[in-house]
């Protein structure tokens, strides 16, 4: 397409810009499409690696330098990053009166594992009730709406305080005689079921109505269509936001510390800091929370990628 | 129900409005068994709504729909049991994207009719083989071309052994070169004696396959007759205008 005249010569301005380049066609088409040298360097595989490494190191270096050069750096490092205190807080010492944060995180893991299972089921039930059209379910629908509004709106820490101290104070049989652990998990379940039911609902609404029409036209009953057509498609779209909520839940198990009686990681760190007057235990707790949340985040990405690849690849 | 002779479907004075939009304004139409009735008309003339009303996906405001002698628009009719005996195919295929082709076809026979999975699969494979899609049975729908997806959608409807097929502009969403393979399937069904009500923009197909062509405009049937008569000697001015526009658009 280079040398063929395609029209009366173009305006000299355009041609003039690349004067000397052999690629200017007689028709005035600028055929010099080559990238600048800088752009070419950035796009080469080696260039990209070098560039990203240098920029990462520069940013990290700047942050570390700011931290180390801050006027109060020494004091902060001694209070938050003391290796000796971090280790003592991690393993705990019953004789000194403080608990192991390492054992504490196991309690957090128990809380969110039990919580997640219950939340997945309860939230789905709430979402299905809210999506239902039957007039018989109208009262339940109203309750579900009120429930979600309430628990989405009240700060989780207040829910934990109300459940953890309120229910035992009622002196009811069974309900008032549970452990603080149970009240903590119950609070998390109540609050997160409200959030997660909204995620489910968004997922159910994301399935096109044409899918429902197609299931109905095949003679499937509404319940069957929900179970085999709508729900599987909804769940697929909500896996990432769902796991996001679970990452939040994993962190929020730390709030159960306000009940005092559940020695989870945050509570153990609290006890350590008030005993020894050093905050390094909180750093240990923070690191442990990262250790459990980051793999879940990566797992989420992996699931999304796998599902996408499977559907693009067709037959297995 | 006798599915071999007589009137398969009678639509009597059907009205349907969506809010203030009066889409069907008193439609009367009868379909005998083994007939292929083609509905033609501009977009918005009510073809799709009529098909959806027949499949009981939309409740009608007035009139009756009589399916093999039974008024299926009565309140006490379980519309789900009626739908199981009608097959509906949509313009946009609407295959279930999370299920492989085979499972798309077997889902309704298994979950709606309670057929054993192995029997349903055997039958589905026979249908897929008959229409040249056996090698796609383990693919997900998004791996298939539009024409293949639409053929699967037709097979999915056939797997329920419908007494009446409702086809809603099934080739309108296809690339031109894929239209033929889908029309071939419909021609084969017609040749096999399937009773069909077909909304279509494919005038050539309607002319060659239809027992009767029905022209709808603005929610009423303007004119109907054998394809030869309706296409070559339309009587109503509105039919003439519509066919003139189609001719000008090069769709004849």
Structure tokens at B199: 């909304």
End-to-end CA distance of chain B: 38
User: Which of A208, A219, A232 would you mutate first to test chain B, the one with the most B CBs within 10 A?
Assistant: A219
Burial class (CB in 10 A: 0-12, 13-18, 19+), A160: buried
A76 with A126, same domain: the answer is no
Query: What's the domain count of chain A?
Result: 3
Q: Which of A25, A60, A83 is the last residue of a domain?
A: A83
pLDDT on residue A155: 96
Chain B residues inside the 8 Å CB shell of A217 = 55, 57, 83, 86-88, 90, 157
- Domain-located, residue A316: no
pLDDT (mean) for A188-205: 95
Which residues in B have their CB inside 8 Å of a CB on A?
52, 55, 57, 80-81, 83-88, 90, 92, 94-98, 100, 107-108, 111-113, 138-140, 142-143, 156-157, 160
pLDDT (mean) for A4-20: 47
- Domain-located, residue B126: yes
A138 with A9, same domain: the answer is no
What percentage of chain A carries pLDDT values higher than 90? 53
pLDDT on residue A13: 46
Chain A residues inside the 8 Å CB shell of B90 = 210, 213-214, 217
Chain B residues inside the 8 Å CB shell of A232 = 98
Query: What's the domain count of chain B?
Result: 1
User: Which of B56, B90, B94, B105 would you mutate first to test chain A, the one with the most A CBs within 10 A?
Assistant: B94
**A94 vs A187, higher pLDDT:** A187
- Looking at residue A196, which CATH number applies to its domain? 1.10.3720.10
pLDDT on residue B252: 62
Find the closest chain A residue to B135 by CA distance: A315
Q: Mind spelling out the 3-state secondary structure of A197-266?
A: HHHHHHHHHHCCHHHHHHHHHCCCCHHHHHHHHHHHHHHHHHHHHHHHHHHHHHHHHHHHHHHCCCCCHH
Across-strand partners of B88? Answer: B166
A201 with A218, same domain: the answer is yes
pLDDT (mean) for B131-153: 94
A150 with A200, same domain: the answer is yes
Question: How many Å lie between the alpha carbon of B147 and the closest alpha carbon of chain A?
Answer: 17
Which residues in A have their CB inside 8 Å of a CB on B?
210-211, 213-221, 224, 228-229, 232-233, 236, 311-312, 314-316
Structure tokens at B90: 């949509």
Q: What is the DSSP letter of A136?
A: G
- Domain-located, residue A228: yes
A92 with A166, same domain: the answer is yes
A26 with A141, same domain: the answer is no
pLDDT in tens, B12-30: 999 999 999 999 999 999 9
pLDDT (mean) for A15-31: 59
Range of B214's domain? 35-57+78-248
Chain B residues inside the 8 Å CB shell of A233 = 96-98
Confidence of residue A3 (pLDDT cuts 50, 70, 90): very low
Interchain proximity B57–A314, CB inside 8 Å: no
Question: How many Å lie between the alpha carbon of A203 and the closest alpha carbon of chain B?
Answer: 14
pLDDT in tens, B204-236: 999 999 999 999 999 999 999 999 999 999 999
- Domain-located, residue A39: no
SS3 B100: coil
Confidence of residue A19 (pLDDT cuts 50, 70, 90): very low
Of the partner residues A220, A314, A316, the one whose CB lies closest to the CB of residue B108:
A220
pLDDT (mean) for A135-154: 94
A60 with A139, same domain: the answer is no
Beta strands in chain B (DSSP E): 7-18, 21-32, 36-40, 62-67, 70-71, 86-89, 164-168, 196-199, 212-217, 220-225
Find the closest chain B residue to A310 by CA distance: B140
Taking the model in full, what pTM does it have? Answer: 0.81
Interchain proximity B138–A316, CB inside 8 Å: yes
A124 with A258, same domain: the answer is yes
- Looking at residue B110, which CATH number applies to its domain? 3.40.50.300
Confidence of residue B4 (pLDDT cuts 50, 70, 90): low
Chain B residues inside the 8 Å CB shell of A220 = 80, 107-108, 111-112
Find the closest chain B residue to A230 by CA distance: B96
pLDDT (mean) for B170-174: 92
Structure tokens at B117: 């999975």
Range of A185's domain? 88-309
Cα–Cα distance, B81 to B184 (Å, whole number): 29
Structure tokens at A120: 């997945």
SS3 B164: strand
Find the closest chain A residue to B110 by CA distance: A220
pLDDT (mean) for A128-151: 93
pLDDT in tens, B75-118: 999 999 999 999 999 999 999 999 999 999 999 999 999 999 99
The CA-CA-CA angle for residues A131, B24, B224, to 5°, reads 135
- Domain-located, residue A233: yes
């Amino acid at each position: 397409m280079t040398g063929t005249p395609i029209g009366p010569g173009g305006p000299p301005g355009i041609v003039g810009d690349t004067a000397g380049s052999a690629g200017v066609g007689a028709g005035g088409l600028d055929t010099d499409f080559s990238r600048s040298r800088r752009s070419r360097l950035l796009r080469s595989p080696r260039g990209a690696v070098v560039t990203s490494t240098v920029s990462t190191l520069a940013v990290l270096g700047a942050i570390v330098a700011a931290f180390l050069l801050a006027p109060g750096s020494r004091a902060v490092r001694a209070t938050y990053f003391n290796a000796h205190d971090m280790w003592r807080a991690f393993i705990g010492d019953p004789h000194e009166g403080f608990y192991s944060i390492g054992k504490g995180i196991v309690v957090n893991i128990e809380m969110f594992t039990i919580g997640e299972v219950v939340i997945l089921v309860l939230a789905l039930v709430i979402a299905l009730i809210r999506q239902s059209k039957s007039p018989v379910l109208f009262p339940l629908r109203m309750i579900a709406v009120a429930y979600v509004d309430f628990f989405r709106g009240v700060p989780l820490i207040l829910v934990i305080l109300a459940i953890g101290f309120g229910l035992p104070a009622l002196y009811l049989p069974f309900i008032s005689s549970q452990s603080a652990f149970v009240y903590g998990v119950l609070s998390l379940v109540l609050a997160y079921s409200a959030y997660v039911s909204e995620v489910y609902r968004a997922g159910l609404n994301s399935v096109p109505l044409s899918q429902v029409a197609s299931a109905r036209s095949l003679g499937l009953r509404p319940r069957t269509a929900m179970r085999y057509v709508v729900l599987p498609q909804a769940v697929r779209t909500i896996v990432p936001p769902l796991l996001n909520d679970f990452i939040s839940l994993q962190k929020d198990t730390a709030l159960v510390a306000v009940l005092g009686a559940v020695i989870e990681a945050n509570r153990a760190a609290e006890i350590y800091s008030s005993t020894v007057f050093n905050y390094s235990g909180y750093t240990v707790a923070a690191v442990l929370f990262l250790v459990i949340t980051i793999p879940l985040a990566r797992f989420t990405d992996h699931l999304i990628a796998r599902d996408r690849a499977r559907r693009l690849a067709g037959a297995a | 129900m006798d599915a071999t002779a007589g009137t398969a479907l009678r639509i009597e004075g059907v009205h349907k409005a969506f809010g203030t939009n009066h889409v069907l304004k008193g439609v009367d139409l009868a379909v005998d068994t083994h007939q292929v009735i083609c509905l033609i008309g501009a977009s918005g003339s009510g073809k799709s709504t009529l098909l959806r009303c027949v499949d009981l996906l939309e409740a009608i405001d007035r009139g009756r729909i009589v399916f093999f002698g039974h008024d299926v628009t009565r309140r006490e009719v379980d519309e789900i049991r009626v739908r199981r005996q009608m097959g509906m195919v949509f313009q946009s295929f609407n295959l279930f994207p999370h299920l492989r082709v085979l499972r798309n076809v077997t889902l309704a026979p298994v979950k709606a009719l309670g057929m054993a999975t192995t029997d349903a699969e055997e039958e589905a494979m026979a249908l897929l083989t008959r229409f040249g899609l056996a090698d796609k049975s383990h693919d997900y729908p998004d791996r298939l071309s539009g024409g293949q997806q639409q053929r699967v959608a037709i097979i999915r409807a056939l797997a329920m052994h419908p007494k009446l097929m409702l086809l809603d502009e099934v080739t309108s969403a296809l690339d031109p070169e894929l239209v033929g393979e889908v029309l071939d399937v419909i021609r084969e069904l017609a040749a096999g004696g399937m009773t069909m009500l077909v909304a279509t923009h494919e005038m050539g197909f309607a002319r060659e396959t239809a027992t009767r062509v029905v022209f709808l405009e603005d929610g009423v049937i303007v004119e109907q007759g054998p394809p030869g008569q309706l296409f070559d000697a339309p009587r109503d001015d509105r039919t003439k205008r519509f066919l003139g526009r189609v001719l000008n658009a090069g769709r004849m």
